[in-house]
């Protein structure tokens, strides 16, 4: 951490800051510039709140040198993390292909889709049970009934189950029934929930990026889960909010190579929610895999025109199969 003093700061002002910081167990190094003096802090700076320094009238600004996360950092954990989702490995060269309907609607629907996506090459099954909807009047999902339907589809196909958790009161039920617990974009900074996911389960967590979150904020949310006891986190990019209104959100594929530098956690791409249009899924899924993603999460529906939600972004099973054929060729190029 570096403290930049105002140009009006005196030697006494600098000495006072130096003392205060050293009292907290850090060492300092002073650089006297022509316009301004800067104080370098040496030691574990995570305990110092930079805002408590910025308030000092003689301080111009405070800048971070090191990243504020440790457990998720590639720096302290150079090799890729490989997360085991009930036998399906993710990361370190192991790809996960999650597919399934946006919402669970019926047992027949889910089992039919599960069989189809398995045949096409998917190795996990997704399906919404509890749905985060911006309107209180919109369909909110079938809840626990949907979890049981997903379990039946797992029995039939062997595919591990991925579904979204919205509420800590359901953690035990998810621990029992679900293989990969998804945390949605709107809960990325629901810190209470993140803590409980660290404390009460070691099931893998699929942590979606918040709509306006920076990479660092996203990794800090993973760090919350990890620091509370659960190291099994997979990151999922699902599009960020931009000024563009033609698409639902803007998919950020630079996230793939950047996060692979910042963290050892796997990164999965969800092109269905990002664009919100089914015809964007194929080009973006291919682009994600050639750019180095550890997997894809794709919505597949057997009757998109009648889906209770998000049909606009779902692929039919035959289109998913065609896509997976292309994806396999891209795997060979990597």
Residues 123 to 142: which contact a second copy by CB under 8 A? 132-139
Q: For residues 206 and 224, which CB has a smaller minimum distance to a second copy in the complex?
A: 224
Q: For residues 178 and 309, which CB has a smaller minimum distance to a second copy in the complex?
A: 309
Q: Does 23 bind a second copy (CB under 8 A)?
A: no
Quickly list DSSP for 277-297: SHHHHHHHHHHHHHTT-SEEE
Q: Does 11 bind a second copy (CB under 8 A)?
A: no
Q: Does 326 bind a second copy (CB under 8 A)?
A: yes
Candidates 45-53, 92-100, 112-120, 174-182; binding stretch for a second copy (CB under 8 A): 45-53
Whose tokens are 């002073």? That residue is: 30
Q: Which run of H or of E encompasses 153?
A: helix 144-157
Q: In what order do the strands lie in the sheet with 37-42?
A: 27-32, 37-42, 2-5, 59-63
Smallest separation, CB 99 to a second copy (Å): 18
Two tokens, residue 311 = 């049909």
Contact 267, 260 (CB under 8 A): yes
Rounded CA separation 32/52 (Å): 23
Integer angstrom CA distances of residue 128 from 50, 165, 205, 265: 41, 9, 15, 24
Contact 312, 278 (CB under 8 A): yes
Contact 71, 39 (CB under 8 A): no
Q: Which of 82, 189, 200, 322 binds a second copy (CB under 8 A)?
A: 189
- Residues 283-322 touching a second copy, rule: CB under 8 A, are 283-284, 286-288, 290-292, 304-314
- Residues 73-112 touching a second copy, rule: CB under 8 A, are 75
Q: For residues 153 and 309, which CB has a smaller minimum distance to a second copy in the complex?
A: 309
Q: For residues 77 and 158, which CB has a smaller minimum distance to a second copy in the complex?
A: 77
Q: Does 144 bind a second copy (CB under 8 A)?
A: no
Task: State the angle between helix axes of 107-120 and 144-157 in degrees (0 to 180), rounded to the nearest 10.
Answer: 40
Candidates 64-72, 84-92, 115-123, 145-153; binding stretch for a second copy (CB under 8 A): 64-72
Q: Does 202 bind a second copy (CB under 8 A)?
A: no
Q: Does 54 bind a second copy (CB under 8 A)?
A: yes
């Amino acid at each position: 951490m570096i403290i930049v003093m105002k140009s009006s700061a005196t030697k006494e002002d600098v000495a006072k800051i130096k003392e205060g910081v050293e009292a907290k167990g850090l060492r300092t190094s002073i650089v006297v510039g022509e316009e301004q003096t800067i104080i370098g802090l040496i030691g574990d700076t995570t305990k110092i709140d930079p805002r408590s320094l910025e308030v000092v009238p003689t301080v111009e600004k405070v800048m971070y040198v090191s990243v504020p996360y440790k457990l998720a950092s590639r720096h302290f954990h150079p090799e890729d993390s490989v997360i085991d989702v009930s036998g399906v490995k993710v990361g370190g060269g192991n790809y996960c292909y999650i597919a399934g309907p946006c919402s669970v609607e019926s047992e027949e629907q889910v089992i039919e889709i599960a069989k189809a996506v398995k045949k096409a090459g998917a190795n996990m099954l997704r399906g919404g049970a509890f749905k985060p909807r911006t309107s209180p009047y919109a369909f909110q999902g079938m809840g626990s009934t949907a979890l049981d339907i997903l379990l039946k589809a797992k029995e039939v196909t062997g595919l591990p189950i991925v579904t979204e958790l919205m509420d800590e009161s359901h953690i035990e039920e998810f621990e029992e029934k679900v293989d990969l617990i998804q945390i949605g974009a709107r809960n990325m900074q629901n810190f209470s929930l993140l803590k409980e996911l660290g404390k009460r389960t070691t099931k893998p967590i699929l942590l979606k990026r918040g709509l306006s979150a920076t990479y660092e904020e996203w990794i800090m949310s993973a760090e919350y889960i990890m620091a509370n006891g659960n190291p099994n986190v997979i990151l999922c990019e699902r599009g960020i909010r931009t000024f563009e209104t033609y698409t639902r959100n803007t998919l950020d594929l630079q996230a793939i190579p950047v996060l692979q530098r910042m963290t050892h956690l796997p990164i999965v791409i969800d092109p269905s929610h990002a664009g919100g249009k089914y015809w964007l899924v194929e080009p973006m899924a291919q682009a994600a895999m050639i750019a180095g993603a550890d997997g894809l999460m794709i919505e597949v529906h057997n009757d998109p025109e009648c889906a209770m939600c998000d049909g606009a972004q779902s692929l039919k099973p035959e289109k998913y199969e065609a896509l997976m054929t292309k994806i396999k060729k891209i795997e060979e190029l990597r």
